[in-house]
Structure 1
Amino acid sequence: MTSSRRRYSFIFGIACAVTLATTAAAATTVSSHRSHDAIRRAGALTALHGTVPGINTLNLPRVPWAGGSAYYRKFSAPRNFGWTSPKFFPIGIWWDVASNSTEIKYDKSLGINTYVITNPAMSYKLFDKNHVSYIGTRLNGQPRNDPAWVGDFLGDEIDGTSSSPAQGEAKLQAAVNALPDHHKIRYANFTGMVVSWLRGNPTWAAAAKKYVNDYTDVVSMDAYWFSTKQCLSRNPEGGGFMIPWKPNQCRTPQNYGRNVAQMIRQDATDHKRQPVWGFIEDAEGQPGISPMTPAEQKAAVISMLINGASGIIWFNNTFGGACPTSGGVVRTVEYDPSYPCARNIKAMGQINRLIGSLAPVLNSQSYRWTFGPGLETMLKTYNHSAYIFAMPTDDGAKPLGTRSFKLPAQLRGRTITVLGENRKIIPLANGTFTDKFSALTTYHIYKIS
């Protein structure tokens, strides 16, 4: 390049920078068909930063994790059934019974790829035939080497149903001892007791640590904040949890994220890592409680992912309420589209399919980065792009509305695509942008390429 052209390029870049700084007080949001003005601003950023390289890794610390899909390589059953593929993210359903392939295909259309505990009379052959996984105890006639049987089930809520910690520990150890091999993952689900009432209670704290760390390869915890009456209490006892919360934070999507965050914290106490799966109901619950909305349902799943969930399990029964069923919610909706909670199953399918489309992203290790106040976020990179999952916090420290983001230096000078919203955001030259979060259920997923 000649000297005169270098001077022109330099002056043009400065001029564009000045234009950008003086005409945009905040980041610009544009539709998928960007205006000439937006394109000009993008050109200014390119002039400021030069050629923008692809994003492979960021110079940021990582969030500790179990290993994504690669974690399952040590277990031959899930390894041989496709679980080590980055394109596979476990999305399970609890006690869903299918009597034929048509019903399983319906479940798969909702994004379900794993069945967790079911009626022992269900035909195990349907799983392998339709390439869906099974985690549970042996079904009638099921051979130990059934390819679809990827996980052994050790127990449900043993922490809350045992008369003493010693009895609960004995139950789990007996379940482990009864297994002939360790080719499958070992899974158990617990209650919120394993992450609460630990302070000042060393006996229970030690038992809770053992429950979560000593027997399983995959773990989850259920706490149905939208469907039980705990949140109706004047004092729902949020102060007793590992991550304390206030009464107005009880019945929120973010409290499901706290479930996962607390289980990850408890799991890390032995300095080892196993996948923690999020657990959520697929319909509303007890009488006297306002129904869970589809928006709340989807936002709760996003919060669990942001907080580190390595899989999702949907509880497929109801507690009475407006949506009673004796055959499982999903199967009821399949045959009765007028069922009151059909909208929840539709929402479940939408968020499951979104997860499936982002499986390789979710199976990558997250980075530590604080984008700004009033946000809970997750940052990942995959295939030369960065992904930011974001939603507002529920602590009330910052009113709902506009949130400000500051990007890491490596991500500056790039246009942001907001997935599923048909819009783009062009950050300012200093890597900041703003976006709106009008409700606790609002979430956005940003892709930066």
Structure 2
Amino acid sequence: MALPRVAWEGGPAYYGTYPVARAAAWTDPSFFPIGVWYEGVLTQGHVDLDRAAGLNTYVMLTSDSDLGLIRRNGMFAMVDDVGVGPGAETTGWVLNDEVDMWGGAGNGTWTGRYPGEGNICVSGRYDCGHDVMKRLSAQFPSGDGRLRYANFGKGVMFWQSDSKAAAFVNGYTSVTSNDIYWYTDPNVCTSPSEGPTYGVTATTCRRAANYGLTMDRMRELDAKDGKRQPIYAFVEVGHPFKENDAPTITGDQVAGAVMNSLIHEARGIIYFNHNFGGSCISQHVLRDCGRNTTRPKVTEVNARIKALAPVLNTQSYQWRFNPALDTMLKAYGDSYYIFAMPGRTGGTGAQRLILPPGLTGAKAEVLFENRTVPISGGAIEDSFAKEFSYHIYKITR
């Protein structure tokens, strides 16, 4: 189409420069990373449960996990310890989690301590995050063909200047993410240094579209050095905060958060699988507490991602179908695909999607819904019942 493209890192071809990821077929357009954070893998039953939910990658593992079991089952891992005997299944190293928060921005000196062990930085202030990242990076072999991954948090998202935040995002990793839990964080909606800095209000905070906001922030920072890396989305699946009166995410909200992240160009999904509060404390929510709540929707959306991986792994077109909606346009084979859902401040109810010039047809198939919608006057009209509702349209040329 005669439309500009959304900037990207190159899709699956990006992994081709990392021999271990390439050998693991991460360059295959039909593969899309779907991970779970800090899980334990000790038995075949664990793997069976995780694969049935549509997971394919473990990002951080408990120290007693069996990498051989993961390898034999065709699953993948990113680990934080070179001493665990990594093999073909280990496509990446995990540098650490949220150093931007517990180490802070700055070039001070790290004491070597972690949160809860005393002063993090020699100065006694939070000013040594970059020294932390440098020293953690040095623990892993150089040029061994594996990706380097780190997750960041509110420092990069909210608290730090663009230059300081970009230094974290661009300085140490080949894959990265940010974990802002818009549906369940008890502070993110109201703290003046968090959501409100992006115009998020108490009434617009608990929305799937804000997970896209996180993606936009990370992509903006990632672009500042003129190079791009895959940005993964982080989505909670339960009650990740200790406060029992904090919200618990629902299955529909999980699916909406995942889909909005994809619309905002997420190249992978990671699920936060821990409950620190609520009625069921667990480190394995998708295996136990969430079996009848979030797991069914996680399984459903993961199956849809797998089915659409060749589409998702193409470079998107730039086109705004409706300012009230978050949308994405892709082409694959002889079809165009439109992903749409309500935006950050509206978009529910009846909506009209204006198609770009040259995109014509009599009707659009609504994938996974067993229905079609007519194309009339160069537009599609459809309804979005909830803020987390989404539709995927396929228009065959």
TM-score normalised to structure 1 length: 0.79
CA shift at 1:413, angstroms? Answer: 2.3
1:277-336 deviation digits (Å, cap 9, x = unpaired): 0001111344103332211111111110001100000011112112312x42133x2xxx
Say yes or no: does 1:313 pair with 2:270: yes
CA shift at 1:205, angstroms? Answer: 3.4
The one-letter code matched in structure 1 to 2:266 is A
Contact in 1 for aligned 2:215/2:266 (Cα 8 Å)? yes
Report matched runs for 1:393-412 at 5 Å: 393-396=343-346, 400-412=348-360
**Map of 1:109 onto structure 2:** 52
Say yes or no: does 1:97 pair with 2:53: no
**Map of 2:335 onto structure 1:** 385
Distance 1:232 1:164 in 2: 23
Distance 1:403 1:164 in 2: 43
**Map of 1:415 onto structure 2:** 363
Higher helix share: 1
Corresponding residue to 1:226 among 163, 179, 183 = 183
**Map of 1:162 onto structure 2:** 103
Counterpart secondary structure, 1:410: coil
The 1:112/1:378 distance shift into structure 2, 3 A limit, reads same
Say yes or no: does 1:353 pair with 2:310: no
**Map of 1:330 onto structure 2:** 286
**Map of 2:171 onto structure 1:** 214
CA shift at 1:171, angstroms? Answer: 1.3
Q: How many residues align?
A: 373
The 1:119/1:434 distance shift into structure 2, 3 A limit, reads same
Distance 1:237 1:147 in 2: 40
Corresponding residue to 1:179 among 112, 132, 140 = 140
The one-letter code matched in structure 2 to 1:251 is R
Contact in 2 for aligned 1:322/1:340 (Cα 8 Å)? no
**Map of 1:41 onto structure 2:** none
Aligned-pair identity (%)? 36
Say yes or no: does 1:193 pair with 2:155: yes
State the superposition RMSD in angstroms. Answer: 1.8
1:350-399 deviation digits (Å, cap 9, x = unpaired): 11111111100010000001112311100001111110000011314x6x
1:11-33 deviation digits (Å, cap 9, x = unpaired): xxxxxxxxxxxxxxxxxxxxxxx
CA shift at 1:234, angstroms? Answer: 7.3
TM-score normalised to structure 2 length: 0.90
Say yes or no: does 1:434 pair with 2:394: no
Say yes or no: does 1:263 pair with 2:263: no
Distance 2:104 2:7 in 1: 35
Distance 1:186 1:440 in 2: 35
Counterpart secondary structure, 1:280: strand
The 1:316/1:365 distance shift into structure 2, 3 A limit, reads same
The one-letter code matched in structure 1 to 2:332 is Y
1:112-136 deviation digits (Å, cap 9, x = unpaired): 0000001122111011100111101
Distance 1:410 1:319 in 2: 51
CA shift at 1:231, angstroms? Answer: 4.5
CA shift at 1:163, angstroms? Answer: 5.0
1:21-68 deviation digits (Å, cap 9, x = unpaired): xxxxxxxxxxxxxxxxxxxxxxxxxxxxxxxxxxxxx22110000111
- Larger-gyration structure (1/2): 1
Contact in 2 for aligned 1:418/1:425 (Cα 8 Å)? yes
The one-letter code matched in structure 1 to 2:368 is G
1:216-258 deviation digits (Å, cap 9, x = unpaired): 00010001122221146375742324xx433322211111111
The one-letter code matched in structure 1 to 2:369 is E
**Map of 1:254 onto structure 2:** 209
Q: Structure 1 unaligned runs (5+)? A: 1-57, 199-203, 334-338
CA shift at 1:164, angstroms? Answer: 4.8
Distance 1:164 1:404 in 2: 44
Contact in 2 for aligned 1:323/1:340 (Cα 8 Å)? no
Distance 1:235 1:212 in 2: 23
**Map of 2:119 onto structure 1:** none
